[in-house]
Structure 1
Amino acid sequence: MADAVPLPAGRTQETGVPLAAPSILAEAEISVSIRGITKSFGSTRALDAANLDIRRGEFFSLLGPSGCGKTTLLRIIGGFETPTSGDLLIAGRSALGDLPYRRRTNMVFQHGALFPHLTVAQNIAFGLEMKRVPRPEIARKVEEALALVRLSGYGDRKIDQLSGGQRQRIAMARALVNDPEVLLLDEPLGALDLQLRLQMQEELRRLHRAIGGTFIFVTHDQGEAITMSDRIAVMNAGRIQQVGTPREVYERPANRFVAEFMGHSNFYDGTVAGRKADGTGAVAVNGQAFPTRLPPDAMLGAKVFVALRYEKVDVVPEGRPGEGGAALDGTVEEESYMGSFVRRRVNLGPMGTIVSDAANTGRQETMRPGDRVRVRWGLDSATVLPA
């Protein structure tokens, strides 16, 4: 896998928030370059002037809700859709005139799309046979591909003799055997149950490390994208909202949509009630103020939007001191045991309800409805954005 290369700051299409710029990287570092691609289906615009550079050798995820344009963009890269306008470069050259089988890309679909009447080996060999690769080389490449996905010895099996996870691995082997510049993965884990999906996440990352190619992965699952990706592009309504590492996108969302889409957060509309030279200040929600870090352009009296992750909120018995950040008193409305964590819902009076998720260490104090508590979070815990 290629080493991470810092990207210069650019701007999102929609909000003017800093975003990775697609045109500054050295050409040799770029595997796929999407340049102003728009795609319309009749009066519906599925993609709106998308710009994106994907580095050679990275695991890159296109993340967003259904209908956001992520699969359309993947299909354009693979050659299964033609953009209305814009250009697509793969390995430094425009690929728009190339048919899918002439591009150095291969796609793995959600349900594998394997041929049920062929054996495992015949499925993997299919693309090589279409290219008229010599039979001895085909046999060697099929065995290498089976070993890569840890299914050596499965070549003679029928597809209906395989589990769901094994079928997806065979689909990946069929794609990888053609030595693509880019492997395109269209929600390949979406049809699997939770445990198998977690196993396949690990398997995909292992494959990526083993071959060092460029993987472009489409998903609507935020946890999946965060777990697997080197970088993520969050999409909505045909537009790229933010590009960054999983940590950047989760910890520093560029706009309200990203903040709401990524993970679980408390959301408040407020007003800047104080500002200091060091960038800290206060935000008031319905007259109830708390200290926080402020963005550089948030002036006194400005309307702002506050996002505060559940896991960054600490609930302790009333009377305990704050720790340099917010410390507000409230009343427990509900405590729920969620297995790996405990969720608490607390009423903060004028500010409304706040939710906290605390890791289950087995040592938590049980809190009951009506208990008076103190709710705390750090100065840098909340994300404050223009309203």
Structure 2
Amino acid sequence: MTTSRLRRMGRVRRWSTAGAVAMFAASLAACGSNSDNTSGSQGADSSAATGTGSDTSALAGEVAALDKPLDAYPVPTDRIANVSSLARKTIYYIPITLQAPQFAATQKEITAAASAAGLKVQVCDGKGTPTDVNACIAQATSAKAGAIVTDAIPYGLAASSLGAAQKAKIPVVINNQVVDSGHPQSATLAYVGENAGPDQQVALAKWTILDSKGKADVLINQNTDGPSPAVFVSAGKKTFSGDCANCKVTVNEVSSANFSLVPSSTSAALLKDPNVTYVQSQFEQFLQPTQAGIQSASKTGVKVITGAAELSSLKALRSGQIAAASGQATSYQAWTDIDAVLRMMLGSQAPDYKIPVRLFTKDSVAGLKVTDAALASGEWFGPTTFTDDFKKLWGVA
């Protein structure tokens, strides 16, 4: 699913303050947080897939391609002039919370990319609360930051603060969120990584259809604390609907707020449909409680898969605890963040960036270095030369 198509879909709404606060839990889930807050609600909704079915050999080719690393990262081609004029400017990086391991890796790579361009990075921890997120953005604005990069923070959660920053001519990059229709991309606002959530779901759906020979009964533990996770899952459901007439997909609603209830929710859904053959955790955060729910239901013979894969998912895949996973190239995304702010700081609109997504299977993970260093380098997804490519674009190589 392309970025432009995502922007045309009717799933993007301008959120109220209350809805934006609820979105925090979803943002945490997308980033692998280990929250165990027990407030909120859960539910389930089921739909049988329909469609004409696809050519097995064609699908096998698509899955094989998804399971391979890139030959090259999709680095932009337009060079940026006068990057040296921005030397010593400060970029504020504001993740929703530094408790999420993904943000430590992103922070490291954003700092490296900024340093290569002669910029500095100031990190401000959103601490998982609207008050702290807005305070961080206000701090950046008061400090006359060169730009602001937020991570997993929906626009609606800090609309006033983000608007004030842009009014002060401070460019803003929003990572890993669907585009807010009330605040589309502009000369001072860019969205990066909104393709990765849907693309991961499509990859998992195609693998499941192929692996099941078109007869999968799938339970998806979908996060529902905001609009983004449902948009992502809908892309996978569309793939099932179009390519697997004999597949069944059931969505079990889970949340970071109800993290402790994920095992019992999963167990209940499995007892309701004893024919489930595949269980998907939308985000790696929910993988362990999902597995606990399967065990609680005494369910055997199911294959477990997950999205938002990072180090622990790939270790589980290598050991045979799960059957497949999908993930996004977060290190590359960090360099696109700096590319975007450089362009906007110099008066140009940032391009649409495609963040690579890869399907991981037991065969493909066997040849990978499953280490923090390998994750940070981006080598799971393609050649690590993309950093040199960006430096050349910026005229700093």
Same fold, judged at TM 0.5 (above): no
Larger strand share, 1 or 2: 1
TM-score (norm 2): 0.29
Larger helix share, 1 or 2: 2
Greater relative CO (CA pairs within 8 A, separation 6+)? 2
TM-score (norm 1): 0.30
Larger radius of gyration: 1
